[in-house]
Amino acid sequence: MTGHSEKKSFRNFPADMFVLSGLPIGGAALFTSGLLSFSHMAIRVAVGGALCLAILGACLLFWAKLPLYREGIYFSFGSSAIPKARKVFYYWGISLTCLGCVLALMLIPFR
């Protein structure tokens, strides 16, 4: 019984999945880009807003797939395995992530 409860613990989330999520790299990139120059603040705010939308969407995706992660299913595509109560979070997460990425890509020429 002890092994089963330890398997479902959030502390046992694989570190490689955290690194593959891009959060450490994205955070370092945002920090260094903010330090390099202070010009074009309006564009920086717009890009920051777009990236915040994408991060919010990724958080919603994580929340929607949390029951799967607790069961040890880390690689699943689509919403078929997600519980019905969390499918709304999944669809909002996908749409916000895509919207944030598209907005950030649209702002590249203004840099």
34 vs 73, higher pLDDT: 73
7 vs 84, higher pLDDT: 84
Cα(62)–Cα(69) distance, rounded to whole angstroms?
A: 9
**pLDDT band (50, 70, 90) for residue 12:** low
Q: What is the pLDDT of residue 73?
A: 79
41 vs 64, higher pLDDT: 64
Cβ-proximal residues to 25 (8 Å cutoff; 6+ apart), any chain: 19
Determine what percent of the chain is predicted with pLDDT higher than 90: 5
Is the pLDDT at 70 greater than 80, yes or no? Answer: yes
Cα(68)–Cα(62) distance, rounded to whole angstroms?
A: 10
H-type helices in the chain, by residue range? 2-7, 15-20, 23-36, 41-70, 87-106
DSSP, collapsed to helix, strand or coil, labels residue 8 as coil
Output the average pLDDT for the chain.
Answer: 76
Cα(30)–Cα(48) distance, rounded to whole angstroms?
A: 9
- Structure token pair of residue 12: 């046992």
pTM: 0.59
